[in-house]
Amino acid sequence: METPWQKWKRENAERQQSGKVSPLDFANPNTEYAAEDVADARYEICKECPHFLAITKQCVKCGCFMHLKTKLAHAECPVNKW
């Protein structure tokens, strides 16, 4: 039988592999980060997107803070721009 901790670890691994991210990924020591140039390129794309709110640096589609989300290797743009 799977313990609650094992279930959380399995679900978290599945979520990361699917491209879905969570703010908790920044606290996870096993989180893979994108190379700095990749993260910078992603963020530049976001800043030009009509779904980007510059004042909060958030995406209207997913609600994520894009200056952070772009740094996660397995993150995906909600409108498939990167």
Backbone angles phi, psi at 53, to 5 degrees: -100, 105
The number of domains in the chain is 1
With helix as H, strand as E and coil as C, how does the chain read? Answer: CCCHHHHHHHHHHHHHHCCCCCHHHHCCCCCCECCHHHHHHHHHHHHHCCCEECCCCEECCCCCEHHHHCCECCCCCCCCCC
The pLDDT score that the predictor gives to residue 55 is 97
46: containing domain: 4-69
Q: Does residue 78 lie within any of the structural domains? A: no
Look at the pTM and tell me if it is higher than 0.85: no
Question: What's the average pLDDT block by block, 10 residues per block, for the chain (82 residues)?
Answer: 87 72 83 96 98 97 94 93 96
The pLDDT score that the predictor gives to residue 16 is 66
Closest CA to 12 of 31, 35, 33, 40: 31
Tokens of 48: 């030009």
Q: Does residue 37 lie within any of the structural domains? A: yes
Q: Does residue 9 lie within any of the structural domains? A: yes
Q: Does residue 80 lie within any of the structural domains? A: no
